[in-house]
Amino acid sequence: MRITDCRYDRDRLRLAVAYRLIAHEARTHTIRHCTGLSGDRIRKLYRHYALNSHGPAVRRRRGKSPRQMSYFRRSVEHELQAATLATLLAHCGLLQRTQRLPAPRIEDVACFCDVYEAFLCVCPLSLISFEHAWYLGQALGRRDEFILARCPDCCATWIRDTLDLLPCNCANCRHPASRNATGPESRRADC
């Protein structure tokens, strides 16, 4: 009986997470990877969500998911937002688990949604979609080419490309004029 209850709870969590991913406009294959639900089941959830949601309409994104870390270097704001999100992921222990299993645990995906939603509160004008956030978490979880590091000049966390010699400090230090506009306090919280 307890095993049945446990499975029921996990199925409910799986569906709840799938709805959150739909609300964040994650692609079908991302939702399938994160929840283990079939494509057909996800399409039905999309229809149910569209009919019953009272919030803003969600787009159903198609095509390939983001696969370029260069996206997070497009501007100072991209860099700072990526560092903020990565710091939140690291504090919640989500950068240690991403590559250890063939598929993520549903509890970790739920936690990732919590972190991403907290990030949206910190950065309401976010340049980072859920899919970009998921990719960022995967890339940093590998801890090879890209790592979350301390800026040698200001101690803030930033995303460093280990194969590049430059830049050698964070975007905030390279572009001091952006400090007042982007609120460095949130990125220095763990100094």
Task: Indicate whether 171 belongs to the interface with Zn ion (CB under 5 A).
Answer: no
Tokens linked to 170: 């964070």
- CB closer to Zn ion out of 66 and 167: 167
Instruction: Using the minimum distance from each CB to Zn ion, give the nearer residue, 58 or 154.
Output: 154
Q: Under the criterion CB under 5 A, does residue 31 sit at the interface with Zn ion?
A: no
Contact between 153 and Zn ion (CB under 5 A)?
Answer: yes
Cis peptide before 56 (omega within 30 of 0): no
* C-alpha angle 177-180-185 in degrees, rounded to nearest 5: 125
By beta-carbon proximity to Zn ion, the closer residue of 23 and 154 is: 154
Among 23, 154, 178, 189, binds Zn ion (CB under 5 A): 154
Q: In this structure, are residues 20 and 42 in contact, taking their beta carbons and an 8 Å threshold?
A: no
Toward Zn ion, which CB reaches closer, 37 or 170? 170
Q: For residue 135, how many other CB atoms are within 10 A of its CB?
A: 20
Region from 27-35, 112-120, 126-134, 164-172 binding Zn ion, contact rule CB under 5 A: 164-172
d(CA 37, CA 107): 15
- Pick the binder of Zn ion from 90, 170, 182, 187 (CB under 5 A): 170
22 binds Zn ion (CB under 5 A): no
Window 61-80: residues binding Zn ion (CB under 5 A): none
Distance in angstroms between the alpha carbons of the first and the last residue of the chain:
48
Rounded to the nearest whole angstrom, what is the least distance from the CB of residue 81 to Zn ion in the complex?
15
The answer to the question of residue 151 lying near Zn ion (CB under 5 A) is yes
Strands (E) located in the chain: 146-150, 157-161
Interface residue list for Zn ion (CB under 5 A): 151, 153-154, 169-170, 172-173
